[in-house]
């Protein structure tokens, strides 16, 4: 049995759904953002501020290589930008079933209102930035995913049920 890899935009529910799915399946949850923070010894916002996005993306690549060595089937929650980089897509697909948690801009804005931990949303114009980034990333998410689950208006448990149905688990 392979990993289940959750991809999607920030605020799509990858971490929340990942925790619920891992608990439901009795698997470990591997959160790539958390793994990056452990490896770097600081928060992602600090990596962006001190070293920039390219340094963060290099760490993502290293984590992907590490995940390829994981033998026990796990639920993997990825950072929202991981599939945007074309060379990451085949590596993600090789890990197991890639599920794109698709979310509308309105849902993202509602979920992330007041969240100061999202480096790509810092500064003004969050609404236009979310719409722009989502439109930019949608093709990469679709290209990477084996399955697409629209999550707007769904609870984490409903999304878990849908993923289990898709994967015949």
Q: How far is CA 4 from the centre of its chain?
A: 12
Burial of 37 (0-12, 13-18, 19+ CB in 10 A): middle
128 assigned to a ligand binding site: no
pLDDT tens digits, 117-148: 665 566 667 788 889 999 999 999 999 999 99
Model pLDDT, residue 114: 60
* Furthest CA-CA distance within the chain: 44
153 assigned to a ligand binding site: no
* pLDDT score of 60 more than 80: yes
Rounded CA separation 129/146 (Å): 27
94 assigned to a ligand binding site: no
117 assigned to a ligand binding site: no
Q: 124: domain range? A: 3-164
In a domain, 169, yes or no: no
pLDDT tens digits, 63-113: 999 999 988 999 999 999 899 989 999 999 999 999 999 999 989 888 777
In a domain, 153, yes or no: yes
131 assigned to a ligand binding site: no
Count of domains in the chain?
1
Q: Which one-letter DSSP state was computed for residue 28?
A: E
- From residue 60, alpha-carbon distances to 13, 15, 49, 123 in Å are 19, 16, 16, 24
């Amino acid at each position: 049995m392979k990993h289940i890899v959750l991809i999607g935009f920030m605020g799509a529910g990858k971490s929340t759904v990942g925790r619920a799915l891992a608990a439901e399946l009795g698997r470990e949850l591997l959160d790539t953002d958390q793994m990056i923070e452990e490896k770097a010894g600081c928060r992602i916002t600090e990596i962006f501020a001190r070293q920039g996005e390219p340094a963060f993306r290099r760490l993502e690549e290293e984590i992907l290589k590490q995940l390829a060595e994981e033998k026990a089937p796990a639920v993997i929650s990825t950072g929202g930008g991981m599939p945007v980089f074309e060379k990451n897509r085949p590596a993600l697909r090789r890990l197991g079933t890639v599920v794109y948690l698709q979310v509308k801009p309105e849902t993202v804005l509602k979920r992330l209102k007041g969240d100061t931990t999202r480096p790509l949303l810092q500064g003004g114009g969050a609404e236009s930035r979310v719409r722009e980034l989502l439109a930019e990333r949608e093709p990469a998410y679709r290209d990477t995913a084996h399955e697409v689950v629209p999550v707007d208006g769904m609870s984490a448990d409903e999304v878990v049920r849908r993923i289990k149905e898709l994967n015949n688990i």
